[in-house]
Amino acid sequence: MTPHSLLVRRVTGRLSRLRSARPTARHRRWLVPAAVLLGVVCGGSYGLLATPEYAATGYVVVVPAEGSDPAGAMGLAQAYGRVATDIAVTGDAQIEAGVPAATLRAGVLAETSPDAPMISLTGRAPDPRTAAAMADSVARALVRKGGHTEASTGVKVLQFTRATPPTEPVSPSAPLSALVGGCAGGLLGGLALLVRPRPGHGEERYAAVPGPVPARPQEAAV
């Protein structure tokens, strides 16, 4: 056997192994539906097993004191919103809320408005009453801090509305989680199909490999 024919046999053997290892078109056809089903199962399981989370929001307003510039209340509202979840405020609020200060810093979100000197405080917790208590405790602690600095800042910090315990959780429900999981699974399955090698790609690449050429009778006699 000549070296050329031995090389051809090795290449042919590798091609046959690649053809046998490549998934068939039927297997690729079921890739996207299987990915969608897996995403639905994972998303639905998360929605059923995850602990529901509730959110309650209260508001604090910053008003100028008598004889003060009203424009200063806007800037101070932004400043109070930035320090609403600092340890100086949450440390005073933790006893009233019944949770540690670290839980208040992680579970209370303070947001300010660009149009009004108002601060919204949203507490998030697995229990609706705890979520409302967290928001209200931080709001009252912020009001007390504002009262201590009222003489120097020229503004008053007042609790505008109290947080109300919510009746429904804000975390996604099981059907919504299943829908999101199914969409994500379908997207990943489609991407997996796009990165797979197309059928026949290997055959086209090696189609130009010549086969063994038999020796002529006169050459064999020599």
What confidence category does residue 48 fall into, taking pLDDT thresholds of 50, 70 and 90? low
Q: Is 200 left (phi over 0), alpha (psi -120 to 50) or beta?
A: left
Contacts for 93 with CB less than 8 Å, ≥ 6 apart:
101, 104, 134, 137, 138, 140, 141
Q: What is the mean pLDDT of residues 45-58?
A: 76
Between 156 and 194, name the one with better pLDDT: 156
Q: What is the mean pLDDT of residues 38-66?
A: 77
149-185 pLDDT per residue, tens: 888 888 889 999 999 998 888 766 666 666 676 677 6
What whole-number distance in Å separates Cα of residue 77 and Cα of residue 166?
26
In degrees to the nearest 10, what's the CA dihedral of 157, 160, 164, 169? Answer: -80
* Residue 187: count of CB within 10 angstroms of its CB: 14
Among 29-43, 131-145, 200-214, the minimum mean pLDDT is found in 200-214
Q: 9-13, 21-25, 99-103, 185-189: which has the highest mean pLDDT?
A: 99-103
The pLDDT of residue 220 is: 45
The three-class DSSP label of residue 161 is strand
Contacts for 170 with CB less than 8 Å, ≥ 6 apart:
53, 54, 55, 124
The three-class DSSP label of residue 109 is strand
The pLDDT of residue 72 is: 78
Q: What is the mean pLDDT of residues 186-210?
A: 58
Q: Could you tell me the fold of the domain covering 54-161?
A: Alpha-Beta Plaits (3.30.70)
- Residue 209 pLDDT more than 90? no
What whole-number distance in Å separates Cα of residue 7 and Cα of residue 14?
11
The pLDDT of residue 113 is: 86
The pLDDT of residue 178 is: 64
Between 212 and 37, name the one with better pLDDT: 37
Between 51 and 129, name the one with better pLDDT: 129
What whole-number distance in Å separates Cα of residue 139 and Cα of residue 155?
16
Let me know: does 117 contact 73? Beta carbons within 8 Å. yes
103-146 pLDDT per residue, tens: 999 999 999 988 889 999 999 998 999 999 999 999 999 999 88
For the chain, domain boundaries? 3-49+173-211, 54-161
Between 72 and 100, name the one with better pLDDT: 100
The pLDDT of residue 162 is: 92
